[in-house]
Structure 1
């Protein structure tokens, strides 16, 4: 019987048994055996590592990279959903605003703001000369209306055969009257001494104060102008028109009576739900506390998320510190 000399820990005595030969053949075929989780933990405890740092003991470089790549991809679905919601909301608001502004008539303010650049004629002078009204009377609508009626009677009294240009003159007179009647001499915000974000109660208080000063002769504005400023600023639709175009809104918009809302079914049936949604957004955001509340909600959600995941964050920090220590030790 042939004897073998023991040369390693796998030999028992002086003779190699069949179990040892099987282990050698398997090791030669499969290569080094991957340590189990228990062996990794035992090795980490023996080396003095804390439980939070034992996970990466005995792992290969590709396994570490795969693990950290998986950690970095956490929450990517949530970020994509939030990005889609934000983009959709922005496009929806732009669509509503574009449609709202396209339904408003072209402002006359641009027509009366004539320019003398490049030798052009001032449209304001042209319109006042057409109606034979002095510029000093531009703030008085009564004289503009009176001059418009007189000119209109003169043109309409002529025979169409004797005056082939009467129709063109009627159109020009109408444009001149509309331009001058919607022209704003003084800013209504300055007349009432309110800002653009003021509410109805603030506007009413400012109107009463300005009215009292005008009656006492302490104000540089006329009482009729103060009353007109209050009529425009106190109605939401007229106020939106004035803020957009810096011109007086139509009379029917200023004196529109408040009616009961017929419900969203009526809005959808008439196809006006877009304007109702836009008006609701404008009314909701016409307050300074809305911006503060919005950012406070964002900080609150982020704070709650960080607080709930604080243990996971600490474990990841400890794992990174363990990896840095292992790299410095050359392991």
Structure 2
């Protein structure tokens, strides 16, 4: 009978301890560097968005309120990445109560992030496809209500999803040092439909419609310009705008799918879905990386964001009148 090396156990003093996932040292260092970079970058970028929108009064608009909600959820996702650093070796050292709290917090903020992305796609759809009625349809009050319902719904869903785990945290762990929750197959499928497949369909459908409208308007404008014999550089500009619209919308959809699809595929593997923090580290990390990309996709394309970064970095934001700064100048 082979003797187990105590150094390979999560808790060397316990015979019931789980065994560590032994990685080559170089691979472990690589994981630490990648996860730490994602965590720091995600928190920093989203904090810039949060400070910008909350401080400058000119940015208190319905669309920016959605960006604010997205940045808050994504900032928390960046903090959650720290837990993935702690479980690189496959061991959970923080106790059973913190294990279930981690899953609750993780579910709420990640699903709030996805829900806010759906709200942003709806906002942009109305703004581009129905611009005349946009001010009356999309108001601050309605956006606040929608954002609040998004967070409340995420909180409600997690208690339904993990209700059997809340009463006895750690009851599904097979050994000490494991952080596992049980999600029944039917419940997991419903959750995937509501938190992934549904949002993906909505986002893709709305962005395709927005893209078609943008391209149609650009071609119509180009036709009018050509009709009055004003071609050359102006025509090239219109073509570039079409390409830029395609690129931005493509980044939104492709990054979203690439980061989230592997993680949610875990939920389709078996009659009962066990989410193990050790075996799912790579998929969860990729899932979290989407929150690092979000501020780049949704915020860095706005000129006002680049201006607010300069004001924050140069500490001009400390000026009492800075909140009234004109950030929307051309």
Question: Is the TM-score greater than 0.5?
Answer: no
TM-score by length of structure 2 reads: 0.24
TM-score by length of structure 1 reads: 0.24
Higher CA-based Rg: 1
> Which structure dedicates a bigger proportion of its chain to helix?
2
Structure number with the bigger relative contact order (C-alpha 8 A, sep ≥ 6) is: 2
